[in-house]
Amino acid sequence: MPELLYLDTARLGRMSPGAAAAHRDFVALAGDEGGGLYFDRFLANGFRDCPDTFPTRYPGLATWRGAGGLKADLRALAGCAADSPLLLASRSSALMRFAARLLFHPCRNVLATDLDWPPYKAILAAEAAAAARTLTEVPLREGVFSGRLTESDLIDMVCDRFAEAKCDGLYLTAVNNLGVRFPVERVVRRLEAAHTVRIVVVDAAQEFCHVPHSLRPESCDLYLAGAHKWLRGYHPLGMAFYGRRQSRGRVQTVLAHSVRSGEIDDPLLRFTARLESGTDEHVSETVNLTPLFSTNGALADAGNSAGAWRTRMRNLEAAAATLFGVGWKPLLAAREFRSGILLVRAERPKIQAADSDSLRAALREAGIAATTYPGGLARLSMPSDSWHPGELEHLGRAFKLLA
Amino acid sequence: MTTRPPHPRPVVLFSFRFLGTALVGSLVTALVASFGPLSAQIATIGAFVSILGGLFLSYLEQEEERDRRRSDAIERLAVPLCLAPEDDLYPLYLSYCRTLTALAEQTDPMLREIAALKLASVNAQIESLAAGTVVFAGTETWRAVYEQLLAGGSVREYRSVAWLRSRNYWQDAPGRQSMRANFEAVHRRVLIERIAILPDADWPTDTELPADPIRSWLQEQHDHGLHLVLVRESAVRGEPDLLADFGIYGDRAVGTQEVDEHSRTVRFTLTFDPRVVPLADDRWRRLSIFGIPFQSLLATPPA
């Protein structure tokens, strides 16, 4: 039986073995070489121009082929075209602020839903207010969790609201923090067939490396993801994929302006934006490159996402069945909305009234790492491997203890 | 602060004018009463009463004239009183007054005639300004006002219709400068939407995108975040009032540009009248019906 059953991937994934090895060896390399010549060569091209001893001394970094190689692998993982650009940032919120700027450059009224991550929604609302534009929200959460909405109903509701409110921009969350999978591709296709949708931004922080290709990044103008959640790179690394024909130039122009004007102050984003635009503008700030190496290491562990997805869904049903009889009620949306995140609510009012931090601490004491919310809610991220022997029993016991 | 007590009004009975006149009159009447017959006494009193009546009527007439002059003076003061709080206009008013006063001293009839003609023209311009309309004829200086409007911060939304009658449209230095002002405004969160009416020669019906340099001109705007809609000139030929070059600056003003065949400005009229905005808005909406969003053309892969 494991000492800790880590089911908090949706918050901050536990560092994958490959990421951990890359991190360790990067620290060793930094300790040996500092910022010397070999480090620069390694950063640019991997071990190609370094002494022959490097691969054996730092095996965790063997897959590093430079920033270009990392981007190529991330593109392939996201299902993007090989020539599509990719932005990397040390803070996801910097990318979200950029996304909000991009949306409200040409849009008068952006449609969002109540499934979006509240801090990101706040960024969007602040930009809407600053630009004197409108942010229209469609309430869906209650309908999804009560089972009242089917996928078709949800699509109708979103599209009808878009037309009714005369919206012209879209901000959608592919999988939200509570595990609701949103039919982004179908909504975007239908809206674009009937209306002019000036910009589409998709928050895929919980989708990337979790749900297999539910959306082609080419279907939206900006696809936001992160390497520190389901990819398990651990060190925060925000990503933004783009490259749609109609908006590629616009993203690059707005980005270049935002970097020049200092609106974007994320050093890694400035660094990668500079690489992307090919300008040789001097970057005065020293950039923390650790997330790049840990992400590169994690990529080696990113397995077959379709297989992992099927396993996660099996694990979800098994976990829901286990917790059902021990004083916790799984909140299962209709099958088409489900993801590898299971939301459970305590049945006892005393637990529901408990402080979410205390509940999280109690779960940790009982050997479960999970995210908790007020109202006695716990969010469990399903592992990509089948439950190991004893794990489900451990889960059931831990939750029963707290019920 | 202390206030000085009001100066006491002198008592009329002790004034020299009253006392002197009363004493002389009384003395004359006393002499006539002592030495003259009754008829002379009555005639003297009658003369005095008549003089008094005449003086009173004269006083009333003078008072009436003074009132009329006072009213005229107050009426003349009304203009400066109304303008006095207007810090930008009042100094100009004073300057005009001084200049006109100086002009009034010029006596040459030819000069006076020319001045009258010129001033009539200036008056017409001022009347137009007072009605909220600024006209720039044969000059590109309107662009300074245009850029000021976009940069001022009070206009959050700018909708423009660009009727491109030649490929040189806004390609000269002033045009490029104005376009930069557009880009800066977009980055300052001004929403800019532009309908471009294109000649069919530059956007034939069998091609997806307009030809260069118009295509590049449009692409640059699109990349900076302007929303563009394209209309073929032939599509709106049946509605000639839609073939125009105008801009709607929020709900504040409407500008109309008239250009020659080389896309040089012939006249630019800027109207700050909220009543004309809905009319321009209606025109904009009618024109939109014929439009295709530029981004949808970009989305189509090349054949």
Q: By the CB < 8 Å criterion, does A130 face chain B?
A: yes
Nearest to B189 among A104, A246, A249 (CB): A104
Domain A5-13+303-402 in this protein, CATH class? alpha beta
Domain with CATH 3.40.640.10 in chain A: 68-270
**What is the rounded distance in angstroms from the CA atom of residue A332 to the CA atom of residue A343?**
7
Half-sphere exposure of B244 (CA within 13 A, CB side): 21
Q: By the CB < 8 Å criterion, does A113 face chain B?
A: no
Give A246's contacts in chain B (Cβ within 8 Å): 295-296, 298-299
Strand partners, B136: B268
Q: What is the band of B82 on the pLDDT scale with cuts at 50, 70, 90?
A: confident
Q: Say which residue, A275 or B137, is predicted with more confidence.
A: B137
Q: Angle B108-B126-B83 (CA atoms, 0-180°, nearest 5)?
A: 100
Q: What is the band of B4 on the pLDDT scale with cuts at 50, 70, 90?
A: low
Nearest to A245 among B193, B223, B298 (CB): B298
- For residue B40, what pLDDT is reported? 87
Q: By the CB < 8 Å criterion, does A195 face chain B?
A: no
**What is the rounded distance in angstroms from the CA atom of residue A184 to the CA atom of residue B70?**
80
- For residue B1, what pLDDT is reported? 46
Q: For the structural domain made of A68-270, what CATH number should be given?
A: 3.40.640.10
3-state secondary structure of A380: strand
Min distance A243 CA to chain B CA atoms (Å): 11
Q: By the CB < 8 Å criterion, does A250 face chain B?
A: yes
CB of A241 closer than 8 Å to CB of A221: no
Q: How far apart are the first and last CA of chain B?
A: 90
Tens of pLDDT, residue by residue over A297-345, are: 999 888 666 688 899 999 999 999 999 888 899 999 999 999 999 999 9
- For residue A280, what pLDDT is reported? 53
Query: What percent of chain A is predicted at pLDDT more than 90?
Result: 65
Query: What percent of chain A is predicted at pLDDT more than 70?
Result: 94
| Across A4-11, average pLDDT | 84
3-state secondary structure of A90: coil
- For residue B165, what pLDDT is reported? 85
- Which tokens is B89 given? 């206009």
| Across A245-258, average pLDDT | 92
Nearest to A196 among B156, B296, B301 (CB): B296
Best interface-test mutation with A: which of B215, B223, B226, B252 has the largest number of A CBs within 10 A? B223
- Cβ pairs bridging A and B (under 8 Å): 49
Continuous segment of H or E residues that includes residue A136: strand A134-138
Domain boundaries, chain B: 136-299
**Mean pLDDT computed over every residue of chain A:** 89
pLDDT at A1 over 50: no
**Amino acid residing at B240:** P
Query: What percent of chain B is predicted at pLDDT more than 90?
Result: 45
For residue B149, give the nearest of B170, B134, B169 by alpha carbon: B134
**What is the rounded distance in angstroms from the CA atom of residue B267 to the CA atom of residue A304?**
67
Q: Say which residue, B14 or A99, is predicted with more confidence.
A: A99
| Across A165-194, average pLDDT | 95
Give A247's contacts in chain B (Cβ within 8 Å): 295
What is the pTM assigned to this prediction? Answer: 0.83
Query: Distance of alpha carbon A212 from its chain centroid, rounded?
Result: 13
Q: By the CB < 8 Å criterion, does A193 face chain B?
A: no
Nearest to A132 among B156, B193, B225 (CB): B156
Min distance A109 CA to chain B CA atoms (Å): 11
Q: What HEC string does chain B produce?
A: CCCCCCCCCCCHHHCHHHHHHHHHHHHHHHHHHHHCCHHHHHHHHHHHHHHHHHHHHHHHHHHHHHHHHHHHHHHHHHHHHHHCCCCCCHHHHHHHHHHHHHHHCCCCHHHHHHHHHHHHHHHHHHHHHHCCEEEEECCCCHHHHHHHHHHCCCCCEEEEEEECCCCCCCCCHHHHHHHHHHHHHHHCCCEEEEEEEECCCCCCCCCCCCCCCHHHHHHHHHHCCCEEEEEEHHHHCCCHHHCCCEEEECCCEEEEEEECCCCCEEEEEEECCCCHHHHHHHHHHHHHCCCEEHHHHHHCCCC
Tens of pLDDT, residue by residue over A198-242, are: 999 999 999 998 887 656 767 899 999 999 988 899 999 999 999
Tens of pLDDT, residue by residue over A345-383, are: 999 999 899 899 999 999 999 999 999 999 999 999 999
Q: By the CB < 8 Å criterion, does A53 face chain B?
A: no
Domain with CATH 3.90.1150.10 in chain A: 5-13+303-402
| CATH value of B136-299 in 3.40.50.10440, 3.90.1150.10, 3.30.870.10, 3.40.50.1820 | 3.30.870.10
Nearest CA in chain A to B292: A196
